[in-house]
Chains A and B, each alone.
Chain A
Amino acid sequence: MTRERFEGLAEAYGGDVTRWPAAERDSAALLMASDSAHAQAVLARAGALDAALNAFAAPLVAPALRDRVLATAPGPRVARWPWLSPAALAAGLAAACAAGLVVGIVVSEGSSAGSNGGAEQVAASTLSLDPTFDLEGA
């Protein structure tokens, strides 16, 4: 690295070599070793400006600002069609299967053994229907 490049880097990035571009730090270290007095003078000058700039400290975050920002944050997501959620669909499917099974039993029993009043009554009571109504209809 040349003196000019070293000075240029200090002028751009300041007096702290660890904040210089990573790809140039090794070359800078070599120059600092071989041309120490000049390098130190360049870094000291740049460092003095850094120190002055650091006097303009970052402001602290006021709790009121944090609260204002928090108030604008999104709330917990609520599904627009809650019945389309995977859990609701699974529950619906299970209920439909169960109802289909029971209706299937009723229909098959009714068609194959029309005279079996006892079976009709059991099936009807399974469906929570009035067995009398079923029997009248048959």
Chain B
Amino acid sequence: MRVAQGDAAAIRAMIARKLPRLLSLAHRMLGDASEAEDVAQEAFVRIWKQAPVWRSGKARFDTWLHRVALNLCYDRLRRRRETPTAEPPDHADPTAAPDRRLEAAGVAARVASALQGLPDRQREAIVLCHYQELSNIEASAVMGVSVEALESLLARGRRALRAALADLADI
């Protein structure tokens, strides 16, 4: 792997491809931009460590990387539950002025809060399939469950989200 040999072009290409996806995954899982950045950075440290021994194909690398990032997210969620703070995640204020941009930010904040309210595995399933756009086979491999179990998690998660966001138009 050229990354393991310190090839600058390969390293930059890896960062360009994977950093946005890792950041996106962690942000949706944690609902916190700063923690998401930390998780993405930590995930890259794991990539660099793993690079010298990596021999498998792209699909298995992505599966491994998603699992690494999710485990880092769960570490943080666990710590958060053990030491609860009064400070909420950095969502926009949903009661902000009815400017169109603020309105969109308000919806985003509502969705972020609703996602945080889901059981972990339901949120994980929705993040992997809806936001990361993994196929059902890929997502079930990352989660270590059958496709049927994944579908059940997705359906229950989406039903809960619909209920939480029921006051938004047409949901």
Contacts and interface: CB of A to CB of B under 8 A. Distances in A.
Given A11-B159, A61-B20, A69-B15, A49 B129 contact: no
A70 B107 contact: no
A12 to B, nearest CB: 4
B104 interface: yes
Nearest to B24: A58
Contact of B24 (A12, A52, A59): A59
A76 to B, nearest CB: 4
A72 B111 contact: no
A80 B28 CA distance: 43
Contacts of A59: 23-24, 27, 33, 36
A70 B45 CA distance: 10
B41 A8 contact: no
Given A48-B171, A52-B111, A65-B40, A72 B48 contact: yes
A70 B15 contact: yes
Nearest to B109: A56
B23 A56 contact: no
Given A13-B136, A65-B40, A52 B23 contact: no
Contacts of B133: 19
A69 B162 CA distance: 37
Nearest to A71: B41
A75 B107 CA distance: 43
Q: Which 9 pairs, one residue from A and one from B, show the smallest C-beta to C-beta distance?
A: A58-B24, A12-B154, A76-B6, A56-B111, A55-B107, A48-B170, A12-B151, A11-B155, A73-B11
Interface of A: 8, 11-14, 19, 21-22, 46, 48-50, 52-53, 55-59, 61-62, 65-66, 68-70, 72-77
